[in-house]
């Protein structure tokens, strides 16, 4: 029962790494600058400082590494995008009755062997308290979508609870993977949950316990020997804040940082980094997709032919190869390739300026005296904006400016500082076109209503971030159906179709999917990237050191208990 929580995801890593070495006792030999040797700790370098430790409060990516290490959620998302049990003994589904056929009634069964770091038992009351705290109007909660639909939370027993949903909402299961459970006994008596002492020294159920924090410098977590799940195998997990990315990389080289976390290694350092001795440096697919994003409210972009022509004039291979050092991968869709819902059969775009010109000729866009095409009084001229100071994107813009000019389209560069760019200019659709890297999925759920549904257009009175003002009734209907469909296979078909339509309509011209260049000391084993989470440290519980004192038992390659593996099959089917 002890090694059940992380689920089959962990198996992949151990198989890839070969058989785990035998356990050895390593003498402590302190080495200057190297923190791995014999010390059984891992230093993760982050360029942003983790500062929010109440997992339910509003926070950003760098906090996630700490939260994943200290807390557990009911369920977790594995690297393949499949939901696994965590504090729950099984993932609620239609088949196991955890979710009723109409999607409205949920029942979750919990583990009975979980204790908080202070020794108190974890029970269904904690889950109830957590879900209620999120929707407390005075609480500075993070995402509330989905949680606001929950009604009548009922604790059946310490290991079982039920609730009712106001309407069926399939993405909620994914949202629960990032909803960490907090202890009721620590927070219930607090007059102001925003200022509770818990927020500065939290108590969780996770593999690591709170150690100490030096603001502006580092945060130290220590192993929780009573963890109910797999691990931990390192004594201490340290998140070291190094704001300058060059300095972060230098400290990785010199060995004072064992693992480069957010924002990882910059693509221009990749060539050098991969040759560093004693380091493992590899690009890992991220979830964000870079696109040439169009405002369909502009007359220039209303016609499909124009969007098709611009897409044909987009030399993505050259952009990725020359400007991005070949690190990212060209893509045809907004859906990340590691997702269970990624449609691999979309038509491949080819760079073909001749075709682009033909499309525009056929559509009646005639070149004017200055070579810029005109149709019905509309000039094929537009502005393109992105974050100023983003060196690589500025080069992409200059390159596109030329290629678009060759097909008779005039692009003007009008960049803005980030705070202005992503403010009203972006949310109120005041741009012509934008180069943007966006994550479309929330908690790795394929639901993109927020981005592509016509009711999500803010400037037309909606709520969401469909800033392209994309309207397609079929997509609307599919999105509505997808959000209420619980069967993974059935959902997959829906989102495959949505990707097809969007690829055809081209409200955004997909360019590439980002990769983050992960770097770590070769001493660290058990590491596995999971682009369905926002952090590199999602499974620190499974990390161990090649010469460390603790290691996973050699029998860890054997399959999990029948319950969890049958569940995995159920979820994957």
Partner 1 sequence: MLRFLLNRITQIVVLLIIVSIIGFFILNLIPGGPLAQYALDPGMTQDDIERLKEQLGLNRPIYVQYLDWAWRLVRGDWGHSFRDGAPVLDVIGGHMFATLLLMGTSTAIAIAVGTWVGIRGATHRYSTFDHVATIGAMIALSIPTFWFGLVGIYIFSLQLGWLPAGNMYTVGEESVLDYLHHLIMPSIVLALVHIAVWSRYMRTATLDVINQDFVKTARAKGLSERRILMKHVVGNALLPMITLAGMQLPSLLTGALVTETVFTWPGMGRLFLDSISYGDYPVVMGLLMFSAILVIFGNLLADIAVAIVDPRIRLS
Q: Which residues bind partner 1 (CB under 8 A)?
A: 30, 32-33, 35, 39, 41, 43, 49, 51-53, 58, 60, 137-138, 140-145, 175, 194-195, 199-200, 214-218, 220, 236, 238, 240-244, 247, 250-251, 253-254, 256, 417-420, 422-423, 426-427, 438-443, 450-451, 458, 463-465
Cβ burial of 249 (10 Å; 0-12, 13-18, 19+) is: buried
Q: How far is the CB of 242 from partner 1 (least distance, A)?
A: 5
Q: Which is nearer to partner 1, 267 or 336 (CB)?
A: 336
Q: Which is nearer to partner 1, 80 or 143 (CB)?
A: 143
Distance CA 467, CA 255 (A): 44
Calculate the alpha carbon distances from 333 to 303, 314, 439, 500, 511 in Å: 20, 15, 12, 8, 9
Q: Which is nearer to partner 1, 101 or 463 (CB)?
A: 463
The DSSP line for 352-405 is -HHHHHHHHHHTT-EE-TTS-EEETTEESEEEEE-BTT-HHHHHHHHHHHHHHH
Q: How far is the CB of 415 from partner 1 (least distance, A)?
A: 14
Residue 108's contacts (CB-CB under 8 Å, 6 or more residues apart) are: 74, 88, 92, 98, 124, 127, 160, 161, 162
Q: Which is nearer to partner 1, 194 or 412 (CB)?
A: 194
Q: Which is nearer to partner 1, 31 or 304 (CB)?
A: 31
Residue 35's contacts (CB-CB under 8 Å, 6 or more residues apart) are: 41, 42, 43, 238, 255, 256, 258
Q: How far is the CB of 10 from partner 1 (least distance, A)?
A: 26
Asked if 9 and 68 touch (Cβ cutoff 8 Å), the reply is: no
Q: How far is the CB of 255 from partner 1 (least distance, A)?
A: 9
Q: Which is nearer to partner 1, 96 or 465 (CB)?
A: 465
For helices 488-505 and 473-482, the axis angle rounded to 10 degrees is 160
Q: Measured on CA atoms in the order 358, 359, 360, 363, is the torsion positive or negative?
A: positive
Distance CA 425, CA 82 (A): 36
Q: Which is nearer to partner 1, 200 or 398 (CB)?
A: 200
Residue 212's contacts (CB-CB under 8 Å, 6 or more residues apart) are: 219, 220
Q: How far is the CB of 144 from partner 1 (least distance, A)?
A: 6
Q: Which is nearer to partner 1, 123 or 224 (CB)?
A: 224
Q: How far is the CB of 17 from partner 1 (least distance, A)?
A: 26
Distance CA 163, CA 367 (A): 62
**Strand bridging mode 433-438 / 279-294:** antiparallel
Q: How far is the CB of 35 from partner 1 (least distance, A)?
A: 7
For helices 304-312 and 353-362, the axis angle rounded to 10 degrees is 160
Q: Which is nearer to partner 1, 292 or 440 (CB)?
A: 440
Distance CA 361, CA 60 (A): 47
Q: Which is nearer to partner 1, 200 or 566 (CB)?
A: 200
Residue 383 main-chain phi, psi, to 5 deg: -95, 155
Q: Which is nearer to partner 1, 39 or 393 (CB)?
A: 39
Residue 430's contacts (CB-CB under 8 Å, 6 or more residues apart) are: 424
Asked if 154 and 131 touch (Cβ cutoff 8 Å), the reply is: no
Q: Which is nearer to partner 1, 300 or 535 (CB)?
A: 535
Q: How far is the CB of 414 from partner 1 (least distance, A)?
A: 16
Q: How far is the CB of 402 from partner 1 (least distance, A)?
A: 29
Distance CA 320, CA 327 (A): 7
Q: How far is the CB of 254 from partner 1 (least distance, A)?
A: 4
Is the bond into 263 cis (omega within 30 degrees of 0)? yes
Q: How far is the CB of 193 from partner 1 (least distance, A)?
A: 11
Q: How far is the CB of 62 from partner 1 (least distance, A)?
A: 10
């Amino acid at each position: 029962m002890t090694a059940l929580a992380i689920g089959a995801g962990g198996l992949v890593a151990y198989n890839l790494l070969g058989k785990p070495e035998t356990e050895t006792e390593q003498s402590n030999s302190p080495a200057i600058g190297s923190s791995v040797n014999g010390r059984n700790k891992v230093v993760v370098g982050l360029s942003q400082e983790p500062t929010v430790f109440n997992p339910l409060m509003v926070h950003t990516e760098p906090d996630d590494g700490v939260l994943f290490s200290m807390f557990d959620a009911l369920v977790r998302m594995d690297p393949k995008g499949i939901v696994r049990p965590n504090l729950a003994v099984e993932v609620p589904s239609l088949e196991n009755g955890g979710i009723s056929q109409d999607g409205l009634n949920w029942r979750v069964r919990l583990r009975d062997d979980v204790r908080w770091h202070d020794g108190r038992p974890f029970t269904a009351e904690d889950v109830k308290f957590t879900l209620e705290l999120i929707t407390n109007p005075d609480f500075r909660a993070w995402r509330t979508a989905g949680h606001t639909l929950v009604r009548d939370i009922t604790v059946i027993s310490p290991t079982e609870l039920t609730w009712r949903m106001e309407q069926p909402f399939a993405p909620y299961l994914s949202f629960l993977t990032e909803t960490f459970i907090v202890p009721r006994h620590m927070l219930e008596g607090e007059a102001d949950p925003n200022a509770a002492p818990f927020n500065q020294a939290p108590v969780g159920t996770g593999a690591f316990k709170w150690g100490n924090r030096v603001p502006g410098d580092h945060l130290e977590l220590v192993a929780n020997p009573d963890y109910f799940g797999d691990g931990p195998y390192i004594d201490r997990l340290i998140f070291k804040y190094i704001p300058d990315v060059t300095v972060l990389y230098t400290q990785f080289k010199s060995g004072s940082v064992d693992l480069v976390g957010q924002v990882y290694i910059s693509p221009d350092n990749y060539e050098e980094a991969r040759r560093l001795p004693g380091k493992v440096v590899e690009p890992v697919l991220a979830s964000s997709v870079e696109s040439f994003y169009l405002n369909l409210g502009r007359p220039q972009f209303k016609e499909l032919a124009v969007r098709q022509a611009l897409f044909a004039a987009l030399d993505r291979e050259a952009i990725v190869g020359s400007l991005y050092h070949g690190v990212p991968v060209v893509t045809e869709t907004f859906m990340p390739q590691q997702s269970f819902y990624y449609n691999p059969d979309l038509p491949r775009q080819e760079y073909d300026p001749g075709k682009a010109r033909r499309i525009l000729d056929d559509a009646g866009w005639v070149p004017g005296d200055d070579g810029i095409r005109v149709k019905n009084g509309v000039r094929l001229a537009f502005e393109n904006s992105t974050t100023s100071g983003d060196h690589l994107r500025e080069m992409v813009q200059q390159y596109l400016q030329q290629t678009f000019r060759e097909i008779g389209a005039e692009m003007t560069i009008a960049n803005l500082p980030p705070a202005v760019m992503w403010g009203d200019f972006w949310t109120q659709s005041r741009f012509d076109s934008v180069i943007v890297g966006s994550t479309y999925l929330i908690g790795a759920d394929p639901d993109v209503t927020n981005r592509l549904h016509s009711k999500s257009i803010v400037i037309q009175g909606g709520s969401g971030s469909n800033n392209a003002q994309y309207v397609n009734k079929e997509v609307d209907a599919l999105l509505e159906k997808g959000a209420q469909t619980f069967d993974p296979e059935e959902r997959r078909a829906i989102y495959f179709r949505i990707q097809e339509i969007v690829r055809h309509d081209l409200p955004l011209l997909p360019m590439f999917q980002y990769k983050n260049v992960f770097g770590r000391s070769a001493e660290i084993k058990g590491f596995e990237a999971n682009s369905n989470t926002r952090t590199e440290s999602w499974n620190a519980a499974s990390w161990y050191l090649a010469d460390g004192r603790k290691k996973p038992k050699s029998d860890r390659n054997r399959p999990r208990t029948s319950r969890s593996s049958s569940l995995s099959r159920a979820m994957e089917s």
